[in-house]
């Protein structure tokens, strides 16, 4: 495993203003567990998903991998796949 493969050390693409970390609860593409994905807010207003995702059997494993200093933002997801987001 390389340092780049750990979420806390993942570098955003050039032009990114902010990274939003999303933890999904048993999404359709990984129904047996939890998924962490980064979304990058770019200068031109677009949001781009990181091609790398991290998988775990419990969300605490993914929370422990998040960069230091992020803040959790909870919002109800009508589809119930988004467990939480971190800014």
The maximal CA–CA distance of the chain, rounded, in angstroms, is 36
pLDDT category of residue 4 using cuts at 50, 70 and 90: low
Q: How do beta strands 34-42 and 72-73 pair?
A: unpaired
Contacting residues for 4 by C-beta, under 8 A, at least 6 apart:
10, 11
Model confidence at 86: pLDDT above 60:
yes
d(CA 81, CA 25): 5
User: Distances in Å between the alpha carbon of 22 and those of 17, 33?
Assistant: 16, 14
Give pLDDT tens digits for 8-64: 788 888 889 999 999 999 999 999 999 999 999 999 999 999 999 999 999 999 999
């Amino acid at each position: 495993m390389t340092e780049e493969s750990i979420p806390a050390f993942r570098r955003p693409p050039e032009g990114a203003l902010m990274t939003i970390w999303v933890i999904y609860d048993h999404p359709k593409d990984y129904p047996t567990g939890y998924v962490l994905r980064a979304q990058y807010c770019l200068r031109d207003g677009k949001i781009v998903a990181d091609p790398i995702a991290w998988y775990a059997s419990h969300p605490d494993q993914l929370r422990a991998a998040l960069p230091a200093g992020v803040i959790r933002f909870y919002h109800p997801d009508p589809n119930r796949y988004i467990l939480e987001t971190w800014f």
